[in-house]
Structure 1
Amino acid sequence: MNGTSFQSDIRYWLRKGNTVNHLLFWNIVVFLGINSLRLIGFLTKNFIPFEWTSDQLAMNVPFSVFIRQPWGLITYMFTHVAIFHVLFNMINLYWFGNLFRDFLGNKRVLPLYLLGGMAGGLLYLLSSALFPGYVGYSMIGASAAVMCLLFAATTLMPNYEIGLMFIGGVKLKWLALALLVLGLISIPDGNIGGLISHLGGALLGFLYIRALQAGTDLCQPLIWVFSAGNRKTQQKSSNGNFKPKKSPLKVVKKADEVNSSRLDQLLDKINEKGYHSLSAEEKAWLDKVSKEN
Structure 2
Amino acid sequence: MNILDNLKYRFKNAGIIEKLIYVNLAVFLLVFITNTFGFLFQSSNNLLIEWFALPANFDEFLSKPWTIITYGFLHTGFLHILLNLVALFYIGHLFKQYFTSKQLLNFYILGTLFGGVIFIASYSFFPALQRVADNSVLLGASAGISAIFIGIATYIPTYELKFPLIGFVKLWIVACIWIAIDIIQIPAGNAGGHLAHIGGALFGFLYVASASNKELEIFKPFKKFFEKKEKPLKTVYKSGKKPTKKTTPKETFNKSKNQQEIDKILDKIGKSGYDTLTKNEKDFLFKQGK
Contact 1:134 1:192 in 2 (8 A): no
Report the counterpart of residue 30 of structure 1 in structure 2.
27
Distance 1:290 1:117, change over 3 A: farther
Contact 2:182 2:198 in 1 (8 A): no
Question: Match of 1:64, SS?
Answer: helix
Report the counterpart of residue 143 of structure 1 in structure 2.
142
Contact 1:120 1:144 in 2 (8 A): yes
CA RMSD of aligned residues (A): 3.0
Contact 1:112 1:149 in 2 (8 A): yes
After TM superposition, the structure 1 stretch with the greater mean CA deviation from structure 2, 199-208 or 128-137, is 128-137
Aligned-pair distance for 1:220? 3.9
Distance 1:104 1:112 in 2: 11
Aligned-pair distance for 1:190? 1.5
Aligned-pair distance for 1:210? 1.3
**Alignment partner of 1:55 is 2:44:** no
Alignment of 1:91-130 (within 5 A): 91-130=86-125
Contact 1:111 1:219 in 2 (8 A): no
**Alignment partner of 1:19 is 2:5:** no
Question: Match of 1:152, SS?
Answer: helix
Report the counterpart of residue 46 of structure 1 in structure 2.
42
Contact 2:153 2:171 in 1 (8 A): yes
Report the counterpart of residue 89 of structure 1 in structure 2.
84
Report % sequence identity: 28
Report the counterpart of residue 66 of structure 1 in structure 2.
61
CA deviation string 1:21-44 (max 9, x = no partner): 1111111111111112113333x1
What's the TM-score, normalizing by structure 2? 0.70
What's the TM-score, normalizing by structure 1? 0.69
Partner amino acid, structure 1, of 2:35: R
Report the counterpart of residue 133 of structure 1 in structure 2.
131
Report the counterpart of residue 239 of structure 1 in structure 2.
none
Contact 2:182 2:195 in 1 (8 A): no
Distance 1:290 1:110 in 2: 36
Distance 1:133 1:105, change over 3 A: same
Distance 1:51 1:63 in 2: 21
Aligned-pair distance for 1:218? 5.7
Question: Match of 1:67, SS?
Answer: helix
Gaps of 5+ in 1: 228-274, 276-286
Distance 1:222 1:75 in 2: 20
CA deviation string 1:228-259 (max 9, x = no partner): xxxxxxxxxxxxxxxxxxxxxxxxxxxxxxxx
Partner amino acid, structure 2, of 1:101: K
Question: Match of 1:8, SS?
Answer: helix
CA deviation string 1:128-150 (max 9, x = no partner): 11011366621001111100000
Contact 2:114 2:203 in 1 (8 A): yes
Distance 2:199 2:74 in 1: 18
Gaps of 5+ in 2: 230-269, 271-283
Aligned-pair distance for 1:212? 2.4
Distance 2:184 2:86 in 1: 22
Contact 1:117 1:142 in 2 (8 A): yes
Distance 1:169 1:36, change over 3 A: farther
Question: Match of 1:169, SS?
Answer: strand
Distance 1:83 1:222 in 2: 33
Aligned-pair distance for 1:170? 2.6
Partner amino acid, structure 1, of 2:51: Q
Report the counterpart of residue 207 of structure 1 in structure 2.
206
Distance 2:37 2:162 in 1: 41
Distance 1:211 1:90 in 2: 28
Aligned-pair distance for 1:14? 4.1
Distance 1:25 1:64, change over 3 A: same
